[in-house]
Chain A
Amino acid sequence: MHLRRLLAAPLAVPVALVALASFAQTSDASVGVGVQVSPVRLGSMAHRGESYALSVDVVNTGTEAEAVSMRVERLSRGSARTVPPSWIQFAGSAVQIAPGKAARVSLELVVPGRAAPGEYLSDIVASGSAAGQAGPGNLGVAAATKLEFSVSSAPAQGGSSFPVWMWALTGLLLLTVTAFGVRRSGLRIRVERGSSHRDAVGHQGEPHG
């Protein structure tokens, strides 16, 4: 009995410290998510029937690993049309991000063939929640950045009417014609390194005065 007490006393202190530390860690735990401030913009006009690759930077600002999911939602005010969420396809359903780490999330803008031309505006929302936690009251976080682009009323360049391979074939044909023309004209191009001897000879031959 005395032996048990003697063992229990030194054990109680570290056990209490561990319990206190774990409680403090729980109470200090936070969830946080951030996204890039600069809006996600398309560099040029979007064309109907085309798709475009975009990306957005996401950061876990909390103290726990998070599963960050992405969606499109209109939060910003403005007269521009709202981007239909179906036009934006994200790679994967959620991105796992460690505390303090960042990730670049790829997304694809798919403009339908019957899209109305004009300016479009929505927000890309990154939502984070502590991975694996399901308490009675979960506290979630999210961060949003604007998504802006314009859809042109003109048909896409390099579209089905004149595809890339047609441009390549035309270029090859032009090169062949040019080469044939040069050959037939008898024009010769020779690159010759200048030499001091030749310069000296040239100078000697020139009249003075």
Chain B
Amino acid sequence: MANYEVIVRRRRIWGFVLLGLALLIAVLVFAGRSAPAATNGGSISLSLKAVPTIRSVTVSPSTASFSNCTGGNAGADTASTSSALGYPNGHCWVGAPGASGSFPIKITYQGPPGQVFVVGADASPSGGGPNWALCNPSAACTGPGGAPGADQYMLKNFGTNTNSSTGLTGSLKCDQEFSSRGCSATQGQSEKEGIELIGPQSSGSTSSSWTMTVTWAAAPPS
């Protein structure tokens, strides 16, 4: 049977080639470094802008209180006071709509062009009992004339651009009040908004303190 032998040799010529390459690189580096000194040059500062990699929304302040409450039934001793909602179907406000209104909630969008959405939620009593469910055109209010019924309430946001909100829903929807172009948003765009609350016809809970959350969301373009 034949024997095979494979011999791998490291040739000296490659050693010289590698040495030559190293010398060439060293000369180039040295020449490149010494060139500015020879021309007595200076340095320049460069600035670069990069596209945002985060899409965000920031809301200020983080909490708000309703005030300027109106409505209710004075005959039944359930009329609204300036800071407390009355029954039936009292109105309370965060800010005030209109040309001379006030818009205390600032919403700021950061990121590439996208959208701002808004969503409401049920109101929770601090003292126990049933929540007030959010009602709106898609979750019909059962009170007289389309007003909120028993244990129902309505939230509407309004902005400086328009006041066309038909009521917040329990799922994220385009915030039509955010800009004159609807809910589309660009880098650094901000808008001031307020909220209107319409209370229930009657409440199953005797609690006098309620909490609810309105959430703004930054979303990709549709």
Contacts and interface: CB of A to CB of B under 8 A. Distances in A.
B214 interface: yes
A45 interface: no
Contacts of A31: 58-60, 62
A51 interface: no
Interface in A36-57: 36-39, 57
Interface stretch (A79-87, A122-130, A161-169, A172-180): A122-130
Task: Report the contact-size class of chain B (Cβ under 8 Å from the partner).
Answer: 35 or more
Contacts of A192: 7-9
B222 A77 contact: yes
Contact of A130 (B62, B94, B216): B62
The A interface, classified by DSSP as helix, strand, loop or mixed, is strand
Nearest to B8: A191
A143 B61 contact: no
Interface stretch (A1-9, A22-30, A104-112): A22-30
A97 B144 CA distance: 45
Interface residues of A, number: 53
Contacts of B7: 190-192
Interface string B201-222: 0000000011111111111101
Contact of B62 (A64, A143, A193): A64
B56 A137 contact: no
Contact of A30 (B1, B4, B58, B195): B58
Contacts of A135: 62-65, 211
B150 interface: no
Contact of B218 (A62, A143, A199): A143
Contact of A137 (B65, B172, B222): B65
A129 B121 CA distance: 13
Most buried by A among B58, B59, B62: B62
B31 interface: no
B57 A137 contact: no
A136 B215 contact: no
B112 interface: yes
Nearest to B104: A27
A139 B64 contact: yes
Contacts of A186: 1-4
Given A34-B111, A37-B112, A139-B105, 11 more contacts: A28-B60, A30-B61, A61-B58, A73-B172, A135-B65, A135-B211, A136-B63, A139-B214, A145-B55, A145-B220, A146-B220
Interface of B: 1-12, 52-66, 94, 105, 108, 110-112, 117, 119, 171-172, 195, 209-220, 222
28 contacts: A28-B61, A30-B62, A32-B57, A32-B58, A33-B57, A37-B111, A59-B56, A75-B219, A123-B220, A127-B217, A129-B213, A130-B62, A136-B212, A138-B212, A139-B59, A139-B105, A139-B213, A139-B215, A140-B213, A141-B216, A142-B218, A143-B56, A144-B218, A144-B220, A186-B1, A187-B4, A188-B6, A192-B7
5 closest A-B pairs by beta carbon, nearest first, are: A34-B56, A32-B58, A135-B63, A140-B215, A142-B217
